[in-house]
Structures are given as structure tokens and as C-alpha cells.
Amino acid sequence: MTSSTAVAEGVAGAWALSHLDALESEAVHIFREVAGEFEKPVILFSGGKDSIVMLHLALKAFAPAPVPFTLLHVDTGHNFPEVLEYRDRTVARHGLRLHVASVQDYIDAGKLRERPDGTRNPLQTVPLTEAIQQLKFDAVFGGGRRDEEKARAKERVFSLRDEFSQWDPRRQRPELWQLYNGRHAPGEHVRVFPLSNWTELDVWQYIAREGIELPEIYFAHQREVFQRNGMWLTAGEWGGPKENETPETRLIRYRTVGDMSCTGAVDSDATTLDAVIAEIAVSRLTERGATRADDKMSEAAMEDRKREGYF
């Protein structure tokens, strides 16, 4: 009982898209749906590779017209300077408008309290959700991918959030065909994840294919780091190293960029896109498992943060 695949493939093969073309086409479709149906969308832009790919796709989706969205960055106050520099350069180059929600401002105003461990990643949720409410965004693009984490594997491409920005995994709309349902009540908004179906490797392959520039911390470089909870963290004013932690200079690179207090570096000599892709293709660790301390706080850390409004 075998199928006649050999014959059929000859017919269909010429029409099949490469997986990168299929993913690109799907993501562009999602951007255009949002542009067509929402009043005030915004792209979450951190200067990390996923948001960089999102912006690249948005530029392609509406060319030669400008991207019809503004950008929003939640600045933890502990970001890598190289990444902030990249962010500002990119915004200027494309004539975009950037909103910044600052965790530091919230701490200074007494609205948020610094955690004992110095990690600011969980503190991002409040400035993010308040910025969404105050600026009245009705669609918020995030670079989240379902392959990142098992709670994210349950996330819809169009994910409705209530007026408190909460995600309820048990009350999600079924996602049928390519018919995205973005209807929402005033005060609610929709998180949109155009890269849902991409994996880390797809993102890197696409960056290579499209020749997209990245912040240099994604490539191997010498850096002073120290070890905490099994991860290489970079020294800085955010609170490391402590007395019992010894800094050393290593050849490292980053697989993700986020808050410096919880984003770990990996040992690497990959200085080119080819080398990075080769490294990821054989890596036996997930992106988040290798580099994100905050996901290790509990088995459901990501789910719990997402329920509160994290992206």
C-alpha cells in the first residue's frame, strides 16, 4: 500500500515554495492583515534578531511605501549598549517612529521595585501593558516563536488580550485556515506573532539569505564575563560580578539579546553567519535553555508571565 509520490512530486515540485519562501509569504500576509484591519498597530522592537527579522518583513510587505506602524521598545535599563545603538541607527535609517517604555523610569517613580536578584526581565510587563493602554495600541506585533518554549507552542498567531493584557490559554480562538479573527472590544488588544511558525534556524537562514545586518554581539567576540547559575553573564552596572564571582575574558557570542542580568552568552568562535548557522544546526541546547535565566525560575515561568501580559 504505497502512494504514488514519485510521479506526483514531479508535477507539484515546480510549484512548491522553499520553506523560507513559504514562511516569508505567510508572515507578510499577517502584517498586511493587521494593516488592513486595525487602527493603531505597533511593532515590539528590541534590537534582537527576531524583531529585526519582523521589521525586515514589514518593510518588504509595504514597499515602496513606508511601514504603516510605529515601534515600541521596553527598555529594561540593563540593555546591551551595542543593541541600543543598533536600535537607534535602524529607526533613523528607515525614518521610523520609536516609543520607549522605560523600566528605570518606573523604578525611579516608585511604581516598580528592583528585585533582590537584580533581574529586570519580569519587570517589563508593567511598562509594556501601560504603554499599550496609554498609547491605545490595538495590535501589538511580537517576535515570539512557537518553537521557543512549550507555553509559546500553544500561542495563536492572533492572540486576544483582555483589558488587563492577560492571556488565557483556555479561552483562545481556534485558528482556522488563514482567516485570522482580530475582532476585539475597546480596551482589549491583539498580540500578533508573524514568526509563530519559524524556528531559530529559520530565522538565521533568512537573515543570511536576505543579508540583514545584526548587532555585533550575535557574533563571536572577546568579552569579560563571569559565571552565575551555570551561565556566562556580562559584567556591568546592573549588579555583577559579586565578590565571589570571578570575571574572565572569553570568546563568546549571544544567541538571544535581552536584559543583561539574565541573558547568558555561549562559548563560540562563530564570526560569520555561515558559522553561526553551522553552530546552531548541531547545537543540542535550545535557544532559551542555553541563555535565559528567567525561564528557569519554574516549570511554568513563561506561561505565568504570559498570563500577566508578557509577550
Binding to another protein (CB under 8 A): which residues in 43-102? 60-66
Task: Provide CB contacts within 8 A for 225, sequence distance 6+.
Answer: 232, 233, 234, 235, 247, 248, 249, 250, 252, 265
Q: Do strands 265-267 and 248-254 pair parallel, antiparallel, or not at all (unpaired)?
A: antiparallel
- Interface stretch with another protein, choices 102-110, 117-125, 191-199, 260-268 (CB under 8 A): 191-199
- Give the residue, chosen from 109, 116, 211, 244, that forms a contact with another protein under the rule CB under 8 A: 211
**32 lies in the site for another protein, by CB under 8 A:** yes
Binders of another protein in range 282-311 (CB under 8 A)? 283-286, 289-290, 299-300, 303
Largest CA distance in the chain: 70
Binders of another protein in range 126-185 (CB under 8 A)? 146-147, 149-154, 160, 169-170, 172-179, 181, 183-185
- Cβ atoms of 79 and 233 within 8 Å: the answer is no
Radius of gyration of the chain (CA): 20
Bridge partner list, 228: 231
User: Which residue, 101 or 157, has its beta carbon nearer to another protein?
Assistant: 157
- Interface stretch with another protein, choices 42-50, 237-245, 262-270, 281-289 (CB under 8 A): 281-289
Query: To the nearest whole angstrom, how small is the minimum distance from the Cβ of residue 45 to another protein?
Result: 18
User: Which residue, 34 or 126, has its beta carbon nearer to another protein?
Assistant: 34
Positive or negative: CA dihedral 288, 143, 45, 57: positive
- Write b or e for each residue in 17-49: b if 16 or more Cβ atoms lie within 10 A of its Cβ, otherwise e: eeeeeebbebbbebbebbbebbeebbbbbbbbb
Query: To the nearest whole angstrom, how small is the minimum distance from the Cβ of residue 171 to another protein?
Result: 10
- Interface stretch with another protein, choices 120-128, 202-210, 238-246, 253-261 (CB under 8 A): 202-210
User: Which residue, 7 or 109, has its beta carbon nearer to another protein?
Assistant: 7
One-letter amino acid for residue 71 of the chain: L
C-alpha span between 154 and 147 (Å, rounded): 10
Binders of another protein in range 218-257 (CB under 8 A)? 219
User: Which residue, 213 or 248, has its beta carbon nearer to another protein?
Assistant: 213
Query: To the nearest whole angstrom, how small is the minimum distance from the Cβ of residue 194 to another protein?
Result: 11
Could you tell me where the DSSP H helices lie in 157-248? 200-210
User: Which residue, 109 or 179, has its beta carbon nearer to another protein?
Assistant: 179
**Cα 120 to the center of its chain, rounded Å:** 16
Number of residues that bind another protein (CB under 8 A): 86
Query: To the nearest whole angstrom, how small is the minimum distance from the Cβ of residue 265 to another protein?
Result: 16
- Cβ atoms of 42 and 71 within 8 Å: the answer is yes
Query: To the nearest whole angstrom, how small is the minimum distance from the Cβ of residue 303 to another protein?
Result: 6
